[in-house]
């Protein structure tokens, strides 16, 4: 069973390592600068990150930011050995949006990351192919929640 908590200083290496493990090839293929430690650390905001654990083990993390009218998913990473629990992440993201009084969730996915696109579609997100981000070879995913916030 997964549990979650706010990110702490001691978690930074885990967040960095899992992101690099899961995303290194995509960054190198689609971004002009490839994987960049500097860009990762410049964008790292400990206040936005929720750590997922399974017992004493790290399982993944979410990097979420409240925008004017939606919850932005900067990053959603799960270690491959815990991938079977990925729907816990869906619920957690939606609960965070509701808690923050936001009824829309958005994120970007690399076009070739078919596994992530399938996951978001299965979770009820629409794929905004008309809003492709040329410079990143990414597209937007979006989900509108029940405006009454009674999803759970």
pLDDT digits (tens, 9 = 90+) for 2-30: 899 999 999 999 999 999 999 999 999 98
Q: How far is the C-alpha of 29 from the C-alpha of 20, rounded, in Å?
A: 13
As a whole number, mean pLDDT of residues 93-102 equals 94
What's the mean per-residue pLDDT of the chain? 88
SS (H, E, C) the chain: CEEEEECCHHHHHHHHHHHHHHHHHHHHHHCCCCCCHHHHHHHCCHHHEEEEEECCEEEEEEEEEECCCCEEEEEEEECHHHHHHHHHHHHHHHHHHHHCCCCEEEEEEECCCHHHHHHHHHCCCEEEEEEEEHHHCEEEEEEECCCCCCCC
31 or 65, greater pLDDT = 65
**What's the longest Cα–Cα distance across the chain?**
43
* Residue 35 reports pLDDT greater than 80: yes
| pTM of the shown model | 0.86
Q: How confident is the model at residue 115 (pLDDT cuts 50, 70, 90)?
A: confident
Q: Do residues 108 and 87 make contact, with C-beta atoms less than 8 angstroms apart?
A: no
**Tell me, what's the pLDDT at 151?**
45
**Tell me, what's the pLDDT at 134?**
55
CATH number assigned to the domain covering 2-144: 3.40.630.30
**Tell me, what's the pLDDT at 132?**
55
CA distances from 110 to 76, 97, 118 (A): 13, 23, 12
Q: How confident is the model at residue 107 (pLDDT cuts 50, 70, 90)?
A: very high
Tokens 């405006």 correspond to 147
User: What percentage of the chain reaches a pLDDT higher than 90?
Assistant: 62
* Residue 48 reports pLDDT greater than 50: yes
């Amino acid at each position: 069973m997964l549990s979650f908590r706010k990110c702490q200083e001691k978690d930074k290496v885990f967040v960095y390592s899992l992101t690099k493990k899961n995303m290194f090839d995509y960054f190198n293929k689609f971004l002009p600068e490839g994987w960049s430690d500097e860009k990762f650390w410049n964008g790292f905001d400990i206040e936005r990150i929720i750590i997922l654990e399974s017992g004493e083990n790290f399982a993944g993390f979410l990097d979420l930011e409240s925008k004017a009218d939606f919850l932005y998913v900067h990053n959603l990473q799960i270690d491959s050995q815990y991938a079977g629990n990925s729907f816990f992440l869906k619920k957690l993201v939606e609960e965070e949006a509701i808690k923050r009084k936001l009824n829309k969730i958005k994120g970007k996915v690399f076009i070739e990351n078919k596994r992530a696109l399938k996951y978001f579609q299965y979770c009820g997100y629409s794929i905004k192919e008309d809003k492709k981000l040329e410079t990143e070879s990414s597209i937007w995913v979006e989900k509108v929640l029940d405006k009454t916030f009674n999803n759970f």
